[in-house]
Structure 1
Amino acid sequence: MGGAPRETEGEFEFRPFRAWSSVAILLIFSLLSILDRQIISLQVDPIRRSLGLSDTELGLLQGFAFALLYALAGLPLGWAIDRYPRKILLHAGITLWSLSAAATGVARSFWQMFAARTSVGIGEAVLAPAALSLISDLFPKERVATPLGIYSAGFYLGSGAALAIGAYVVSHFSGMDRIVLPFAGQVERWQAVFIVTGLPGVIIALLAYLLFDPRNPGASTAKAATQVGFLSFVRANRTILAISFCGFGLSSFVAYAIGAWAPTYYMRVHGMEAADIGPRYGFILALAAPGAIAGGILTDSLFRRGEKGSNYVVAGLGTVAATPFLILAFNASTAINSMTLLGIGMLCYGFTAPGPYSTFNRLAPPELRGRLMACFVLFHAFVGAGLAPVVVGLVTDAVFGDDMAVGRSLTIVLGVALPLMAALLYMAWRSERTPPADGGTNRDADSPLSAHIWANF
């Protein structure tokens, strides 16, 4: 993403303490963002009873409402991240999404909750482009996948934390006949969960000012004007970008489908309570975190050994290894068998997490990374957060017409998405082994790369 371009290797000074301390702060922000994004998955049935919603409407709240402005806001924010102080943008975004997450807890109707969820999306749209931009500027190219893997582990740690913290808060309020909170007044239990988990982010947002930003303020805009234009870059690399967007977009689709509906599956099909699901399912999701970290380390290691497509190799192998476990998990006869299979599958699937970040870091020059990542965030949000929860809900409502069939819906959706994702990553890896026709970064110059890919697929 956006940072001062490194004109020569000699200009880059790697400062380990500042770099890794910034990664730690960004990881905290990642945990917080996923907590506020995913906490709704533990409240599906209480919200449905309270507001009288269908599974399709709940899918819209979990996915499309969040993704709508999360995606659209990403484009102007990516442009801003390439030019303006990232600390200030991060602080503003975190404050906005935290207040909006808390506002979800005072919603009294579908549309009020929809509006609050879209505001969460606007605030969170700044995080991924800014984090990739900053990490890419803090680490040399041959080491960057490892910190990106650690950062991406925040998605799974945050999902686990959302369930564990949400379960604790639900349990804490379970014995109370009336819950009265300052400013909000009397609220239901599910509303209290949103308020209590959302507001602390306003304080945590201040950590943004402790980040180390190596970019010289005011220098990036002038330099970016002399570099290749963004549209020219996209046009010159359109095939590999299209395949990468689709492949890694499906990785988001799978993660959101599972994250949005697995807790509901355990409550409906296996009769578990939310307070019991939270810690167990949270631990399962957290198993993907070591996979993400190991995936980043392995990607860096293979890259240093000459495998330029290591980001696709690691993500593709992780997808293939995870597929049977993730599909079988929602067909197991008991909750313990299901959770065991899901845990193994998530550990393998974690290896895909560093893939998109390391891919776009390597493909784009520094002055274009903010906009490229923002474009991927838009696509990622549409395919993952926007479509996945709704698709699963629609299959349950329209195909089966049975709330208890949510496990079969997940089986169908994952059974299509995972093999398609593996195929796309294989295609991208094949394309990476073909040098650009012009000898530089123009991968589509003078020769139809897409024809080459299909010829070797």
Structure 2
Amino acid sequence: MTTETAAELPVAAPPGNGLYAWYVVMVLMMAQMFSFIDRMIMGLLVGPIRTSFNISDTQFSLLAGLAFAIFYAVMGLPLARIADRRSRRVLIAIGISFWSVMTTLCGFAQGFWSLFAARVGVGVGEAALGPAAYSMITDYFPKKSLARALSVYTIGVTVGSGLAYIIGGKIVHYALSLGTIDIPLLGHTEGWQITFFAVGFPGILIALLMMTVREPARRGRIQAPGTLATATPPAIPVREVVAFLVARKGAFLSHILGVSIYIMAVFSLNIWGPEYLIRTFGFARADAGLTFGIVMIVMGTSGLMCGGLLADRWFSRSTFDAYSRVIILSMLCMLPFAAMLGFANSVTLGIICLSGAIFFSAFQGGIAGGVIQLMVPNEMRGQAVALYFLIANLVGLGFGPTVVAAMTDYVFKDDAALNKSLALTSATLIPLAAVILLSGLGKVREAVRSAQEWTT
């Protein structure tokens, strides 16, 4: 027996992509779904929170974006080091429980800063999910079907966001109709606060479901001769992880920076989508949530699956930069739909533009982090993808919605000009992102090809 405790040893799990592996993906997808319900519900509460706290679009965007993103990103790295060595399922279960509690606490906020602090807590909890989930899925599936598995996992993003707007819209409509009510122990409570109570608590049930998942055996490890495959992976020093990434800096920098800038446009659309319908076409808040939620679920999920299938097909032909090519295709196809948001003069055209933009933007959802998984050995997967999440979320989620809000507040100086702000943001950021990604395509291809020596 080695010096590792039994609790530290990974549990053997069926290899390949059988039914149990897909069960694991479905549980992780549900965790992702609830994380996005908790994350995206803010998109329906723009008006009520602004009114309650007397804040601007820019201040609200800090609550919806930066408060969550900065700690989600920063906490990702230390939590990823845990994921690279310890039980990933336990880490995820703890993270789900924590962010669910913090979402509920958002409902107790009495001002801008208390809500800011609670949103920080949501970000810290959700930071546990991504790196650990990507690492687990990569161990459960062979390369030939990895993109599809990651895309199914990421369906939690589109379904979670959609349900946040559909169900959340109904909850918000009902809660706001109550006005200010007195709840025992809580005192005066506004309708929007009840929304956080309703969406936060169910996450605890998903944390319990996560504990039914078996920890997979780690594949694709840097392993010394004679080392047991089931032994706890050695702690790779941070300096070695940094050295590995620096040696392939062209591939990592171009991919992470290009996708991060692209995600600024993607998250801007996701956060401000319902408000676009409200301000541009006069939708009621519940109707905007229903409409945008349906678009997210139908078009976003379709886009994820199309992107995953296309990436798997190209990769199976030894096109090592297949994932990156699909992301570039996503950018080129999203651009005209997003740019047209500023010119759509009817509800029908506006919804068509939203649908096209959401569909093509979703191509990258599952595979952007998958590129990172293909370039690194097992012991670094969590940390490498956490670095990607750190930058992508700081840049994309942290600043994307704020750029749109700042354009509305300070460039156009008109709340009704949100459509122009969304269009201008996309028309500026997406071409820049595509150029950066194209510049490193050859380096990504070489990094993925050389990493095949770790595959098992």
TM norm structure 1: 0.89
Q: Distance in 2 between matches of 1:52 and 1:187?
A: 17
Q: Distance in 2 between matches of 1:128 and 1:182?
A: 37
Question: Is the 1:97–1:124 Cα contact (8 Å) retained in structure 2?
Answer: yes
How has the CA–CA distance of structure 1 residues 420 and 105 changed in structure 2, closer, same or farther, with 3 Å as cutoff?
same
Q: Give the match for residue 166 of structure 2.
A: 164
SS class of match (1:229): helix
Query: How far off is 1:408 after superposition?
Result: 1.2
Of 224-233 and 273-282, more deviation after overlay is shown by: 224-233
Is residue 402 of structure 2 the alignment partner of residue 390 of structure 1? Answer: yes
Which residue among 146, 149, 152 is the counterpart of 1:147? 149
Query: How far off is 1:148 after superposition?
Result: 0.4
Q: Distance in 1 between matches of 2:69 and 2:237?
A: 34
SS class of match (2:85): coil
Query: How far off is 1:164 after superposition?
Result: 0.4
Q: Give the match for residue 371 of structure 1.
A: 383
How has the CA–CA distance of structure 1 residues 411 and 337 changed in structure 2, closer, same or farther, with 3 Å as cutoff?
same
Equivalent residue letter for 1:381: N
Query: How far off is 1:435 after superposition?
Result: 7.5
Equivalent residue letter for 2:375: L
Q: Distance in 2 between matches of 1:348 and 1:182?
A: 47
Equivalent residue letter for 2:114: Q
How has the CA–CA distance of structure 1 residues 154 and 222 changed in structure 2, closer, same or farther, with 3 Å as cutoff?
closer
Q: Distance in 1 between matches of 2:338 and 2:182?
A: 41
Question: Is the 1:18–1:212 Cα contact (8 Å) retained in structure 2?
Answer: no
Q: Give the match for residue 189 of structure 2.
A: 187
Q: Give the match for residue 349 of structure 1.
A: 361
Question: Is the 2:34–2:160 Cα contact (8 Å) retained in structure 1?
Answer: yes
Q: Distance in 2 between matches of 1:91 and 1:100?
A: 14
How has the CA–CA distance of structure 1 residues 440 and 262 changed in structure 2, closer, same or farther, with 3 Å as cutoff?
closer
Q: Give the match for residue 296 of structure 1.
A: 308
Q: Distance in 1 between matches of 2:195 and 2:160?
A: 16
Q: Give the match for residue 447 of structure 1.
A: none
How has the CA–CA distance of structure 1 residues 177 and 346 changed in structure 2, closer, same or farther, with 3 Å as cutoff?
closer
Equivalent residue letter for 1:253: M
Q: Distance in 2 between matches of 1:401 and 1:92?
A: 44
Q: Distance in 2 between matches of 1:378 and 1:154?
A: 20
Query: How far off is 1:226 after superposition?
Result: 10
Q: Give the match for residue 272 of structure 1.
A: 283
Query: How far off is 1:37 after superposition?
Result: 0.4
1:47-446, aligned counterparts within 5 Å?
47-181=49-183, 183-215=185-217, 219=230, 221-223=232-234, 225=236, 229-286=240-297, 287-433=299-445, 440=450
Of 275-284 and 226-235, more deviation after overlay is shown by: 226-235
Question: Is the 2:376–2:451 Cα contact (8 Å) retained in structure 1?
Answer: no
Query: How far off is 1:225 after superposition?
Result: 4.9
Q: Distance in 2 between matches of 1:226 and 1:202?
A: 34
Query: How far off is 1:15 after superposition?
Result: 5.3
Q: Distance in 1 between matches of 2:412 and 2:447?
A: 48
Question: Is the 1:329–1:339 Cα contact (8 Å) retained in structure 2?
Answer: no
SS class of match (1:298): helix
Q: Distance in 2 between matches of 1:19 and 1:227?
A: 31
How has the CA–CA distance of structure 1 residues 4 and 315 changed in structure 2, closer, same or farther, with 3 Å as cutoff?
farther
Q: Distance in 1 between matches of 2:136 and 2:15?
A: 14
SS class of match (1:306): coil
Of 275-284 and 403-412, more deviation after overlay is shown by: 403-412
Equivalent residue letter for 2:248: N
Equivalent residue letter for 1:412: L
Q: Distance in 2 between matches of 1:329 and 1:177?
A: 34
Aligned length: 433
Q: Distance in 2 between matches of 1:441 and 1:26?
A: 26
Q: Distance in 1 between matches of 2:447 and 2:47?
A: 52
Question: Is the 2:67–2:120 Cα contact (8 Å) retained in structure 1?
Answer: yes
Equivalent residue letter for 1:271: G
SS class of match (1:415): helix
Q: Which runs of 5+ in 2 are unaligned?
A: 1-7, 219-227
How has the CA–CA distance of structure 1 residues 422 and 182 changed in structure 2, closer, same or farther, with 3 Å as cutoff?
farther
Q: Deviations over 1:19-76 (max 9, x none)?
A: 1000000000111001000101101011111110111110100111001211111110
Q: Distance in 2 between matches of 1:150 and 1:222?
A: 28
Equivalent residue letter for 1:229: E
Question: Is the 2:85–2:233 Cα contact (8 Å) retained in structure 1?
Answer: no
Query: How far off is 1:115 after superposition?
Result: 0.3
Q: Distance in 1 between matches of 2:188 and 2:71?
A: 30
Q: Distance in 2 between matches of 1:382 and 1:4?
A: 34
Equivalent residue letter for 2:22: W
Question: Is the 2:14–2:21 Cα contact (8 Å) retained in structure 1?
Answer: no
Q: CA RMSD in A?
A: 2.5
Question: Is the 2:251–2:441 Cα contact (8 Å) retained in structure 1?
Answer: no
How has the CA–CA distance of structure 1 residues 243 and 338 changed in structure 2, closer, same or farther, with 3 Å as cutoff?
same
Query: How far off is 1:345 after superposition?
Result: 2.0
Q: Give the match for residue 221 of structure 2.
A: none
Query: How far off is 1:348 after superposition?
Result: 1.9
Q: Distance in 1 between matches of 2:229 and 2:77?
A: 20
How has the CA–CA distance of structure 1 residues 48 and 308 changed in structure 2, closer, same or farther, with 3 Å as cutoff?
same
Q: Distance in 1 between matches of 2:64 and 2:252?
A: 28
Query: How far off is 1:440 after superposition?
Result: 4.3
Question: Is the 2:408–2:418 Cα contact (8 Å) retained in structure 1?
Answer: yes
Question: Is the 1:252–1:385 Cα contact (8 Å) retained in structure 2?
Answer: yes
Question: Is the 1:253–1:388 Cα contact (8 Å) retained in structure 2?
Answer: yes
